[in-house]
Structure 1
Amino acid sequence: MRLAVFGDIHGNLPALRAALADMRAQGAEAFVCLGDVAMDGAWPRECVAEVAALGCPAVCGNADREMLEPARPFTPRGFPDERELWEIGNWSHTQLTDADRDVLRGYRPTAGLPDLLCFHGSPERDNEELTAQTPDTRLEALRASPERQTVWVGGHTHKPLLRTLDGWRLLNPGSVGLPFERRGGKYVNPARAEYLLLDRTQEDWQPTFRAVPYDVEEVRRGILASGMPHAAWAAAGWVSA
């Protein structure tokens, strides 16, 4: 079986469609979505509908959870551009209908198969970051839970990852819709949809990381036409892959 695992779409419909087209071209037979589907992009409702049409398991990310809660008050934390990001996130919140939120309520804390566990941040918290720098002791503590699968796949960090520990593997496919990186002293969003293919062998899952370029101008045009606050600022952050 060839399984496609993807997430962190963040309302970016051109990226999602590019990723799904590539998954199908690569022969994916099944799909799992790692969450953070709608918030922060120009196409929140469309992305919810596109994922729902797959009929695949979807896990609830921290941004999905926030879309089901009352709109967030602004709380300064000293980060760059945080008010703009907060206002865009709240705009995303207002775009969803009750039917869209019913779809999000169907997302699960985790999903997977007997030897594969999928989640958003970690199996314990949807906003925990598991990275190459996460201490082994923290990973061992998580592995002591009832979830004993030997391959784990999480999202949230927007960074691809392959980490091994005593025969156990932690994978992250990166981000479909918001794979930010630092270029020229500032953060930008490359038009590159990242996801993961997992091929089932007799005893294991073999990973292939995919990064699919798409038209950056389509994203910019969509943002400018969306009616979201700070649209010109948001569109300017997108660059070619």
Structure 2
Amino acid sequence: MRLLLLSDTHANLPALQAVLQDAASRGYDQVVHLGDALGYGPFPVEVLESLRELEAICLLGNHEQMLLEYASGKRQPRESVVSQALTWQLSQLSADHLRWVGSWKDGIDDPDVGARYRHGTPVSLDDYADSVTAAREVFQNWQGRLGFVGHTHVPAVYATLNAPVGEWVKAQAFPDGGSYMVAPSTRVILNPGSVGQPRDGNPQASYAVFDTARAHFQVFRVTYDLQRTQEAVLAAGLPPVLAARLSVGK
């Protein structure tokens, strides 16, 4: 099976469309979206409809969790860029959209793949696996072999030996794309990066394909119509910083 791994699309439809076009030429069997389809961007409805049409497995991200808490009144919006974007998106979404997002799970174990899907780390919705130190702690608290996560907006792999966790934790980043073969002797945390708001200095959309038969993880970077997204951010009255940051991949 070939898994198309997406994360952190953040309502950026042009980026998602470019990724799906590129991925179609490579072939895949199942789409997994690792959280934060929403937040920040100007196309929340269109991104949700695209994922639903793909019959994607969608994981709950911290932005979806926050939006649902705003919708239910459990949390009140604040004066922040995150809150401004989510409040506007909430005004665009239908009750049906909210029901669907509300059905997304905070973590899924896939027995067919032997993997755990979660937004932050294999053991947390909103912690970050963004350093060797953080990865070592995750490996100590999670005994699985394959963990697919997002949240950092940076494509990367963290690996440790399939043994009691010691000093051997290695990291590999993919600023321009690249591949990684998962060895039988290792346990790994695999992050495809961000479709809609990369933060590794490369503004190109990031996604990955995992070939379960070969245990092969490959990250791809794709150019998209960034200006279209920036113009839509401003037209929606969203904070201009959400448009500006897309150009620099930060």
Cα distance between partner residues in 1 of 2:46 and 2:26: 24
Asked if 2 retains the 8 angstrom alpha-carbon contact of 1:132 and 1:161, the reply is no
Asked if 2 retains the 8 angstrom alpha-carbon contact of 1:38 and 1:45, the reply is no
Match in the other structure for 1:105: 102
**Residue 138 of structure 1, CA deviation:** 1.4
User: What is the aligned counterpart of 1:215 among 225, 238, 241?
Assistant: 225
**Residue 134 of structure 1, CA deviation:** 3.1
Identical aligned pairs, as a percentage? 27
**Residue 161 of structure 1, CA deviation:** 1.1
Q: Is 2:155 aligned against 1:160?
A: yes
State TM-score, norm by structure 2. 0.80
Cα distance between partner residues in 1 of 2:96 and 2:29: 28
**Residue 122 of structure 1, CA deviation:** 2.1
Q: Is 2:207 aligned against 1:195?
A: yes
Asked if 2 retains the 8 angstrom alpha-carbon contact of 1:216 and 1:240, the reply is no
Match in the other structure for 1:74: 78
How many residue pairs match? The answer is: 219
**Using a 3 Å threshold, how does the CA distance of structure 1 residues 57 and 196 change in structure 2: closer, same or farther?**
same
Match in the other structure for 2:55: 55
Asked if 2 retains the 8 angstrom alpha-carbon contact of 1:153 and 1:171, the reply is yes
**Using a 3 Å threshold, how does the CA distance of structure 1 residues 69 and 85 change in structure 2: closer, same or farther?**
closer
> What secondary structure is seen at the aligned counterpart in 1 of 2:133?
coil
User: Counterparts in 2 of 1:79-228, with a 5 A limit?
Assistant: 83-111=80-108, 112=110, 113-135=112-134, 137-144=136-143, 148=144, 150-166=145-161, 167-181=186-200, 190=203, 192-201=204-213, 204-225=214-235, 227-228=236-237
**Residue 217 of structure 1, CA deviation:** 1.5
**Using a 3 Å threshold, how does the CA distance of structure 1 residues 53 and 114 change in structure 2: closer, same or farther?**
same
State TM-score, norm by structure 1. 0.82
Q: Is 2:33 aligned against 1:29?
A: no
Cα distance between partner residues in 1 of 2:153 and 2:199: 7
Match in the other structure for 2:243: 235
Cα distance between partner residues in 1 of 2:69 and 2:159: 36
**Please, which runs of 5 or more residues in structure 1 have no aligned partner?**
76-82, 183-188
**Please, which runs of 5 or more residues in structure 2 have no aligned partner?**
162-185
**Residue 66 of structure 1, CA deviation:** 1.1
